[in-house]
Chain A
Amino acid sequence: MNTPVTARTAITGVGWAVAGPDFDPATALAGRGMRHKDRSSRFAVRVAERALDDAGLLGAPELDGAAVVVSSNFASLQTVCDCVTAIAAGGSTDISPMRVPQLSSAFAAAWVALDHGMRGPNLTLCDGASGGLDAVASARDLVLAGRATVALVIGVEPDAPSVARLHGESGGTRWIDGAVGLVVEPVRRAESRSARIRAEIAGYGRARDERSAVRAADATAVRRRLGDEVTARFGRCSGALGVVQCALAVEHMDDEAVLAVAGAGTGEGDGTSVSALVLTPPRRRDT
């Protein structure tokens, strides 16, 4: 009864908007067009430009039918808290009208779509620590189901007082403040537009524990597993975790498959579920 999916999907672009030598949030998140956006939306629009540029898709006609898939757990939290503080101090009339749209977790994805005319599905996932890998898998399914030409996946978590308090109360000491993006598209499309295929998405699985998730992703034979380097480098990545893992895996891809696991073994799981995803090196083109 099942019709197994045989079409292949590739990652053709990677972008980073995390504080570092080539990204200074103080300047990159300011300026034209940023005023009415919350911090997560600012990170998201910046990383979208970089990932689409990396994939050679900035301004491309494919974007009209493209999907945006955002994973974030804390995108709207600070706006919610600020509004509650304003109401407690006075009343609803003390809320800035510009903050109202930012109460929606979907705001960042909508801005990215608007910036690049991406009229396909506009999806935001808030799945806890496994959300980033779930977003990559959802992006894969959107293109396989014929709903999108390409899909831009963004993992974003903004730092804010409420985020710091929540991490602090749950034993966290460091956490990411930024966004990471990936471009997902069918291998066939990537080849036809002569895009550089950075990796292929091989398997994905979600389960109640790590071993079952790895089995569900058909990855028991994959030897190279991304360890704790992501959390060691950035601190807790929350909804961005899986996207950061994939971005690092793509950038360090050699001739071996890589397994990313989110929700276990990274100090970030909440014990509810684990996702696993396998990326494989690009295959040599048939000649």
Chain B
Amino acid sequence: MSWEIIGMSAVCALGDTVAGIHGALCSGRSGLAPLSAFDTSRYRAEAAYEVPDRARPDVEEPLRATRWLVRVVREALADAGLPEPDPGLPVLVGTTHREMRTAELWWRHEGSLSPADLHFTSALRSAFGLYDVRTVASACAASLYGLGMATDLIALGRADTVVVAGTDSITESSFGGFDRIQFPPPGGIRAFDRSRHGMIMGEGAVAVVVRRAGTRPGRTHGRVRGVSMNCDAAHPTAPDSAGIVRAIQEAHERAAVVPEDIDLVIAHGSGTAQSDLAEAVALGEVFKTVEPGPLVTAIKGGTGHISGGAGLLNLVVALEAIRSRTLPAVGGLTDPIEQAAEVRIVTGRPATGAFATAQVHAVGMGGINAVAIVEGSTP
């Protein structure tokens, strides 16, 4: 069984369309910029990958994650030719921080908060009449978990069309928390580089519309072949390569593909010492018998780590890479770690070619992993 992707949309520091974000990544741009709304004197890090859309850059606004979610869902539905969806259409929203930024402002008596702000049903019902909304908070694997659940809903006959999204805005608590544990602060995300020393938060939202394959003719952006969701159950915070290997292998089984079928991989690549190492070891293990093996890239050096939506952002960039036959290089990577030597990491300039099948990763804190196998559409 497979699932068609009939609509998509994204917004992050690098742009507000999928093609725009992909183009910016291919030209080597980074969305990293000096912190705008936070009091910089309270952090050691001075930059983040923010969406530059505040009315006044230095004045915080509540409910930004909700605002982006509504926007990308609207655009993805329009892209899918469903501007007025059936109100029962399920929506799965992956998020790490929900509206905790709004909660922070409320806690400091700088704004209001209602319990309904902490999930996304209220906003999507107001905007589109949609009520079957699940707020999936499985750390930074959340949006690919949403995708896996969407494929299950369709496979189990509970729905024919499902919207999957991810959204997060940078919270002061998490920005500060990572600032506390990462010193000196990383100057940028340099996935798989020997000199990498950490993750930098980004923000934004992504949405796709998935439909049971073969229901209707028409244009598609690609197909979901299979999604795995698992948990390392090995360590409370550090990722385990064995868990990532299992997630990749299960995704291959579900997609009925073998490692030779994978043309490109967009890794999680968060730029932390442990996560990149575990992922590189896992990729080496899975593809060790494949010659030459897939091209491997990561996009967080350009987009930052947008948390809940990160896996889905990898997915839409992968589809755009297949469509445009251009796969961006890993931003900031000049000196790959030894464990990545066995895989073909894209460095320097984008790689070009006729790609068909992509593998995308999301590796969340707590050992929560999800891997999706997608097929692209070429014009």
Contact = CB atoms under 8 A, between A and B. Distances in A.
A60 interface: no
A190 B25 CA distance: 51
A91 interface: yes
B118 interface: yes
B174 interface: yes
A17 B362 CA distance: 32
B56 interface: no
Main SS at interface, chain B: mixed
B156 interface: yes
Interface in A83-127: 83-88, 90-93, 95, 97, 99-101, 103-107, 109-111, 113-114, 116-127
Given A83-B176, A106-B139, A109-B366, A128 B149 contact: no
Contacts of B118: 73-74, 77, 126, 128
A127 B121 contact: yes
Contact of A138 (B96, B119, B134, B157): B134
Nearest to A268: B115
Interface stretch (B226-234, B320-328, B348-356): B226-234
A4 B103 CA distance: 41
Given A97-B180, A238-B115, A138 B234 contact: no
Interface stretch (A20-28, A141-149, A223-231, A248-256): A141-149
B115 A208 contact: no
B343 interface: no
Interface string A126-170: 111001001000100110110100000000000000100010011
Contacts of A127: 119, 121, 133-135
Interface residues of A, number: 72
A206 B230 contact: no
A119 B172 CA distance: 32
Contact of B236 (A76, A110, A207): A110
A87 to B, nearest CB: 5
A102 to B, nearest CB: 9
A13 B101 CA distance: 37
Question: 8 smallest A-B Cβ distances: which pairs?
Answer: A110-B366, A2-B157, A83-B173, A122-B231, A92-B176, A100-B177, A270-B116, A92-B179
Given A106-B139, A162-B107, A273-B121, 6 more contacts: A2-B160, A84-B173, A93-B179, A106-B142, A145-B156, A271-B122
5 contacts: A80-B100, A84-B107, A84-B172, A141-B149, A141-B152
